């Protein structure tokens, strides 16, 4: 799991896109992530972090940038599969209550598609 990958699929609800991230999410992979989220025009983007063992501050910054862009563009998003390690990073950075996190892709799709 040492190579970062992004897989984009349609969600189970219309207008939902799921980005499954796999591998370490670090400065060297931030640009791939930014390119991928900018290419999407879905009303809702779910970012699945189940297969991300760790992320650095640059990756967290790119998540926060995506959060801000969703607010500006009136789009919904959700983060799922946030491990204890990632939760600790969010807490230390002071953003744990800011980011939209859900326990599963299904929950994220239901709650964001109805928002």
* pLDDT reported for residue 39: 87
Classify burial at 49, counting beta carbons within 10 Å of its beta carbon; exposed 0-12, middle 13-18, buried 19 or more: buried
**What is the end-to-end Cα distance of the chain in Å, rounded?**
34
Count other C-beta atoms under 10 Å from residue 32's C-beta: 15
Spacing of C-alpha 94 from chain mean position: 17
Predicted confidence at residue 24, as pLDDT, reads 96
pLDDT (tens, 9 = 90+) of the chain, 115 residues, equals: 479 999 999 999 899 999 999 999 999 999 999 999 988 778 999 999 999 999 999 999 999 999 999 999 999 999 999 999 999 999 999 998 999 999 999 999 998 876 5
Q: What is the pLDDT of residue 3?
A: 92
**How far, in Å, CA of 6 to CA of 22, rounded?**
6
The reported pLDDT for the residue numbered 115 is 56
Q: Which residues pair with 16 in a beta bridge?
A: 44
Please report the domains of the chain, with CATH numbers, ordered by start residue. 5-113 (3.30.750.24)
Confidence (pLDDT) at 112 = 87
């Amino acid at each position: 799991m040492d190579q970062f990958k992004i897989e984009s699929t349609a969600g189970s609800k219309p207008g939902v896109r799921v980005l499954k991230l796999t591998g370490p999410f670090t400065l060297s992979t931030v640009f791939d992530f930014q390119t991928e989220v900018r290419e999407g025009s879905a009303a809702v983007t779910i970012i699945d972090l189940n297969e991300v063992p760790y992320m650095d501050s640059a990756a967290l910054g790119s998540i926060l940038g995506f959060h801000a862009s969703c607010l500006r563009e009136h789009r919904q998003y959700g983060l799922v599969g946030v491990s204890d390690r990632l939760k600790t990073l969010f807490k230390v950075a002071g953003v744990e209550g800011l980011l939209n996190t859900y326990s599963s892709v299904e929950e994220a799709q239901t709650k964001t598609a109805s928002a």
